[in-house]
Amino acid sequence: MRISYSLGSLLSVEQILECSKKLPDLTDTIWIPETWGMENFAMLAAVSKEATRPRIGSSIINIYSRSPATIAMGAATIDALSGGRMVLGLGTSSLPIVESFHGSKFQRPLRRMREYIEIIRLALSGDKIDYAGEIFHLEDFALLTRPQRAIPIYLAAVNSAMTSLAWELGDGVIFYLRPLDEIKKTIKMRPKKIDVSCQIITSVADDSQKAITRAKKTLAFYVSVGNVYREFLAANGFGRETAAILEEYERSGLRSCHEMVPDLMLHSLCIAGTPDECKRHLGRFTDVGIDLPILQFNPVGDVSDSFGLFTKTFDPRQESKQ
């Protein structure tokens, strides 16, 4: 089984780098998010020097915060620094981040993503390009640093239109906060084989309830502040639950809204519990057709100790010893 890890928002720069050193040898990919925190390419460069075996993935680069050319330059640079291990994860982010943080207009996300992928692939080919799109026009442009290989591009997708674009143009797709039954249906409908990854909120502890509480807090945060996830989940079986979480968030903030997350919702979207419980939960995600689980580290207590238990739980070498 392929396993990858996401290290990000709940960790400091120093903690991400320290955890990167401790990844199991068989780790497929280490993914680094951005949102409105650490700049992604800088972190990928640093992580590539600490984790020398796995692929290095962005999850995700926001296509409204950088030009296609800037992203192509960043991807080519990380690929060179890492010895050919870059995986470029692209996404549209969300309207609040794009407009309130970056000061851009959240317009035509589907068309914009298509043009970004086309331009980035042309740029990474190393040839001079002329591109005339509906949004972007490039003339006589070429990268000075040409990658030695085709860098894989994964698309973060929530709605059906972006998922269809991922099937059409992506080397892989990154899902997040999708109920198990919905993922299974979506994967069955894919017109061609690409790498299906899914980032999963994951928390492991010897005390099951502590892990469950940590995972519920992360899930409640995304439901509370992320309109796109809340609306998607509401349309896919969790309308009552998302409404209750949002109502509590509007009343008391993040302090107690996680208490509105029922166990059924948690276990359809997340992995949480003791090591043995989490191993069983992971199997439910791979059984629906996910090729590459991305286990999003949510620490319980001391970060170093928690990450040690986390990686030991999912290390394929531990399975072979049993």
pLDDT tens for the chain, residues 1 to 322: 899 999 988 999 999 999 999 999 999 999 999 988 899 999 999 999 999 999 999 999 999 999 999 999 999 999 999 999 999 999 999 888 888 888 999 999 999 999 999 999 999 999 888 999 999 999 998 999 888 899 999 999 999 999 999 999 999 999 999 999 999 999 999 999 999 999 999 999 999 999 999 999 999 999 999 899 999 999 999 999 999 999 999 999 999 999 999 999 999 999 999 999 999 999 999 999 999 999 999 999 999 999 999 999 999 776 545 4
CA nearest to 56, candidates 64, 65, 47: 47
pLDDT score recorded for residue 127: 87
> Residues with Cβ < 8 Å from 126, sequence gap 6 or more?
142, 143, 146, 147
Quote the domain boundaries for residue 202: 4-207+272-317
**CATH number for 50:** 3.20.20.30
Most distant pair of Cα atoms in the chain: their distance: 59
pLDDT score recorded for residue 320: 47
Residue 201 forms part of a structural domain: yes
If one counts the domains in the chain, the total is 1
pLDDT score recorded for residue 16: 98
pLDDT score recorded for residue 37: 86
Residue 230 forms part of a structural domain: no
Residue 257 forms part of a structural domain: no
Residue 181 forms part of a structural domain: yes
Residue 232 forms part of a structural domain: no
Residue 213 forms part of a structural domain: no
For residue 14, give the DSSP letter: H
Q: Buried b / exposed e across 18-40, counting CB within 10 Å, b at 16+? A: bbbeebbeebbbbbbbbeeebeb
Residue 280 forms part of a structural domain: yes
**CB under 8 A, 24+ apart: contacts of 304-313:** 304/18, 304/19, 306/204, 306/205, 307/19, 307/22, 308/22, 309/204, 309/205, 309/206, 309/275, 310/202, 310/204, 311/5, 311/22, 311/23, 311/24, 312/275, 313/204, 313/275, 313/278, 313/279
pLDDT score recorded for residue 36: 86
Is the Cβ–Cβ distance between 175 and 196 less than 8 Å? yes
Residue 242 forms part of a structural domain: no
pLDDT score recorded for residue 146: 81
